[in-house]
Amino acid sequence: MNAYQPRTDDMQFVLSRVLNAPAQLQALPAFAEVDPELMQQVLDEAGKFVGEVIAPLKRDGDEIGAQWKDGVVTMPPGFKHAYQTFWQSGWPALSASTEDGGQGLPSVLEAMLYEMLSAANHGWTMAPGLLHGAYECIKHHASDELKALYLDKVATGEWLATMCLTEPHAGSDLGLARTKAVPLPDGQYAVSGTKIFISGGEHDLTDNIVHLVLARLPDAPPGPKGLSLFLVPKFYPDGSRSRVHCDRIEEKMGLHGSPTCVMRFDEAVCDIVGEPGKGLNAMFVMMNAARLHVALQGIGLLDAAWQKADAYAQERRQMRAPGKGRSAGEADLIGEHPAMRRILDTQRAWVDAGRVLAYRTALELDLIKHSQDAATQAAAQCWCALVTPVMKSVFTHQAFHGGSDCLQVFGGHGYVREWGIEQIVRDARVAMIYEGTNEIQAIDLLVRKVLADGGQSMNALLDTLASDLPPAAHASAAAQSRIQTLRSLTERIAQAAPKDAALAFRVADDYLRAVALVLMDWAWLRIETGVDADTPQADTRWLSPAKALRSWVLPEFSMRSAIIEQQCSAVAH
Ligand SMILES: Cc1cc2nc3c(=O)[nH]c(=O)nc-3n(C[C@H](O)[C@H](O)[C@H](O)COP(=O)(O)OP(=O)(O)OC[C@H]3O[C@@H](n4cnc5c(N)ncnc54)[C@H](O)[C@@H]3O)c2cc1C
């Protein structure tokens, strides 16, 4: 079984040649010192760490998994040592502010690190996956007293953090949450209730765990507006243990290296984060950061699946490929058969476009934080709000479905454990579910964002994409036409929606896919402008996936448009 190896040259190509990131970042005073050499150095070191330390632990993570006994969770062999090395080397703090103990580097480097980590070992990566969101949440919403106790520990990753939202009867609909918080005379609170599916709720990776918990105050109204956010540590600053218990970990289809915990809060004494009733607002900071991370999981996992399938397709021989002679006993490489090339080049097209979109989104996050120009910040907000749910949904979908196609390249050998591809498919499945299911992402995009402002922000995003297409290319004309179709579809839905309350919910997924395909198209046109004669293996490396995109991926746009049109027409008549 070949372990995943980060290919940092491809990532660097997207960063520098496609997105021109170093120049954009250096224009921001916060990153004036971040030159291309520094970025390359960080990327190379990250690739080395991920390849040498994290990737080899993946198999044990799956086969031995996290173990629960009497409320204590023991992580798979090697996980603790790797995590201790990880935080002590400064990796979790890459993009945290220097004043909080971080390194103050751009978010895009963190995004690249998490893509590699997820590709190498999804289960292990779940542990630090929520750290940055927790850091941002505490930084922006906690009191100075709480920050003094917890911010630098979370920023550096010395302590890990959880996000405790889900309850047995409250999943997508967090407004149904019943966990209670009762005020105590000294200004603190006591939280009681059960949270389920909590990633890393208990483990032995760090000395302490910081739980961020949504709960309801006694006088709170029902629904999401009645939720407040609380910080409950496993151990208090005086070393005593809080009344938080891990009652069980789930038996799962995959992701065995990550303990998915049932957490019982039994009048656990804690502090409020932010204002009463504003818990979801504070939590959204964390959830948005987590959604980009989950999109990166999808991209990383698909890349890992592609790497395995590509290597196998270059070794395994079966039958003659079309156009080859028919001498008895001779066979061609699997990778030469058009059906297998189609699978491989199509997945490559998704991964490469995924990187462009994810890294661009991380760059936009840096602009939101560090640009001093209000218009730039507003455009960056618009990009992140619209593109994040699209990426979360399509790249997690592709990691599972495209990962399964990569498994197909192995034939029966893919279905057995030896080659490790079946683990990727099992692990990837959950990313379509957590951090807001993919259906919820589609509703978030169309109903809560696009229709909520009458299509204004979507049109602004489409203006940005349209103005950023290479002028002459034939493919650009097709891209412009799809952008125009998407504008019309947005208008069609906006006009028909008031006549049928369910319409937008019925077409939300088709709409999200249509937006994704326009983004993919844009990303590939940008990639092609970055490729020139000096780019290594420009003909096969970049041209084959570009062709696959136009042959096998983009035609879906017409189907999605037709479905939306048909649904809107049905309402009109
Ligand atoms: C391995 C794992 C790790 C997790 N980690 C965490 C964690 O760390 N913290 C945490 O708080 N939670 C965590 N979760 C929980 C996860 O976020 C929820 O499972 C998810 O939000 C869906 O909730 P649910 O499972 O209750 O499904 P439900 O909300 O019951 O949904 C069931 C189905 O109905 C669909 N649906 C629901 N409402 C709508 C709607 N309005 N329109 C269209 N379709 C709808 C959903 O998309 C889904 O397909 C984790 C889950 C898993 C499996």
Mention every residue, 6+ apart, whose C-beta is less than 8 A from residue 31.
25, 105, 106, 366, 370
User: What distance in Å separates the CA atoms of residue 570 and residue 573, rounded to the nearest whole number?
Assistant: 5
Q: Is residue 220 helix, strand or coil?
A: coil
**Per-residue pLDDT tens listing for the chain (573 residues):** 667 999 999 999 999 999 999 999 999 999 999 999 999 999 999 999 999 999 999 999 999 999 999 999 999 999 999 999 999 999 999 999 999 999 999 999 999 999 999 999 999 999 999 999 999 999 999 999 999 999 999 999 999 999 999 999 999 999 999 999 999 999 999 999 999 999 999 999 999 999 999 999 999 999 999 999 999 999 999 999 999 999 999 999 999 999 999 999 999 999 999 999 999 988 877 777 789 999 999 999 999 999 999 999 999 999 999 987 767 778 999 999 999 999 999 999 999 999 999 999 999 999 999 999 999 999 999 999 999 999 999 999 999 999 999 999 999 999 999 999 999 999 999 999 999 999 999 999 999 999 999 999 999 999 999 999 887 677 789 999 999 999 999 999 999 999 999 999 999 999 999 999 999 999 999 999 888 767 767 767 899 999 999 999 999 999 999 999 999 999 967
Q: Which of 287, 250, 263 is nearest to 430 (CA)?
A: 250
- Whether 454 and 279 have beta carbons less than 8 Å apart is answered as no
Residue that is written with structure tokens 């789930």 in the block: 250
Dihedral over alpha carbons 300, 305, 306, 311 (to 10 degrees): 130
DSSP states along 113-181 = HHHHHHHH-HHHHHHHHTHHHHHHHHHHHS-HHHHHHHHHHHHHTSSEEEEE--BTTBSS-GGG---EE
Q: Are strands 67-69 and 72-74 parallel, antiparallel or unpaired?
A: antiparallel
Ligand 1 is surrounded, with C-beta below 6 A, by: 163-166, 171-172, 197-199, 255, 260, 430, 433-434, 437, 439-440, 443
Amino acid, res. 199: S
- Whether 513 and 559 have beta carbons less than 8 Å apart is answered as no
The architecture of the domain spanning 8-139 is Orthogonal Bundle (1.10)
The two tokens of residue 280 are 């979801």
User: What distance in Å separates the CA atoms of residue 110 and residue 131, rounded to the nearest whole number?
Assistant: 12
The architecture of the domain spanning 144-282 is Beta Barrel (2.40)
The H or E element that residue 566 is part of is: helix 556-572
The H or E element that residue 316 is part of is: none
Residues annotated catalytic, as ranges: 435
Q: Count Cβ neighbours within 10 Å for each residue of 76-108 and write b for 16 or more, e otherwise.
A: bebbbebbeebbeeebbbbbbbeebbbbbbbbb
- Whether 116 and 46 have beta carbons less than 8 Å apart is answered as yes
Dihedral over alpha carbons 21, 27, 28, 31 (to 10 degrees): 70
Q: Is the full-model pTM beyond 0.85? A: yes
For the CA of 436, the closest atom of ligand 1 is 21
- Whether 259 and 201 have beta carbons less than 8 Å apart is answered as yes
For the CA of 433, the closest atom of ligand 1 is 20
Which of 73, 165, 172, 214 to mutate for ligand 1's pocket (most ligand atoms within 8 Å of CB)? 172
Protein residue with its CA nearest to atom 44 in ligand 1: 439
Quote the ligand 1 centre to 93 CA distance (angstroms): 29
* Reduced DSSP (H G I as helix, E B as strand, rest coil) percent helix, strand, coil of the chain, to 5: 60, 10, 25
Domain ranges of the chain: 8-139, 144-282, 437-573
Q: Is residue 270 helix, strand or coil?
A: strand
The H or E element that residue 273 is part of is: strand 260-273
